[in-house]
Amino acid sequence: MTDKISPSMMCADITSLTKTLDTFEKCGIEYLHIDIMDGHFVPNFTLGTDYCKAIKKICNIPLDIHLMIEKPEEKLSWFQFGEGDIVSVHAESTAHLQKALAQIKKCGAKAFVALNPSTPICVLDYILDDIDGVMIMAVNPGFAGQKMVPSCLEKISYLRSYLDGKGYSNVEIEVDGNVSFENAVKMKKAGANIFVAGTSSVFNKDFSLEDGIALFRQKIGEA
């Protein structure tokens, strides 16, 4: 599977957004990670429906919408997404997970299920035909700048062998939270192929976005 970088847009400087998006397009960034939080499922608010619509108007990079909201199946129609986009819903956020995933696929987008650090892989047992990917949270969702929960590395490798063993090697693994340059190498080796790059890597004030992306690609390319 090809490695893909999905910068976490909640970490981007809103005052220079168009410049950031131009840089991402020049660097061949594969997705834009859009964190949507409702203050209930996670104790924070971040980006919203208008932000997604505005980004789609000015940028061709597919969206990677991370819904950290209660009952997402009731709110999917609030968002604009389609062919080429990823929409992730949390297994912990609804009693109707299969319904939410089916709705996402019906809109032509890729349906991903997101798992918090303590959620076991067995929640996937009866939805393997409904998912295009699994997003492993390496932190408890809600805030940037946190430290990776160590058990997530073993969880990624278990997930990769679980999926391959059941004949779902086409299902991708995304990882979100403290995906630093060092952690990205370990996560890649464990089996992840989509990396949410936030304050721990590309959005670091010590170097330019271009340099951060180039270093990220070099690190995961070598892993």
Q: Which residues are catalytic?
A: 35, 176
- For ligand DX5, the closer CB: 98 or 203: 203
Nearer to ligand DX5 by Cβ, of 39 and 145: the residue is 145
Count the Cβ atoms, other than its own, within 10 Å of residue 4.
Answer: 18
For position 144 contacting ligand DX5 by CB under 6 A, the verdict is yes
Q: Which of 24, 200, 212, 219 binds ligand DX5 (CB under 6 A)?
A: 200
49: its two tokens: 């429906």
Q: Min. distance of Cβ 84 from ligand DX5 in angstroms?
A: 20
Count residues binding ligand DX5 (CB under 6 A): 21
Distance between CA atoms of residues 72 and 70, nearest Å: 6
Instruction: Identify residues 163-192 at the interface with ligand DX5 (CB under 6 A).
Output: 176-179
Is 174 an interacting residue with respect to Zn ion (CB under 5 A)? no
The smaller minimum CB distance to Zn ion, of residues 38 and 176, is found at 176
Backbone angles phi, psi at 117, to 5 degrees: -50, -35
Pick from 95, 134, 96: which is nearest to 116 by CA?
Answer: 134
* Shortest Cβ 60–ligand DX5 spacing (Å): 21
Binding to ligand DX5 (CB under 6 A) within 26-85 occurs at 33, 35, 66
Burial per residue of 48-87, b for 16 or more beta-carbon CB atoms within 10 angstroms, e otherwise: eeebbeebbeebebbbbbbbbbbebbebbeebebeeebbb
Rg of the chain in Å (alpha carbons): 16
> Residues in the site for Zn ion, rule: CB under 5 A?
35, 66, 176
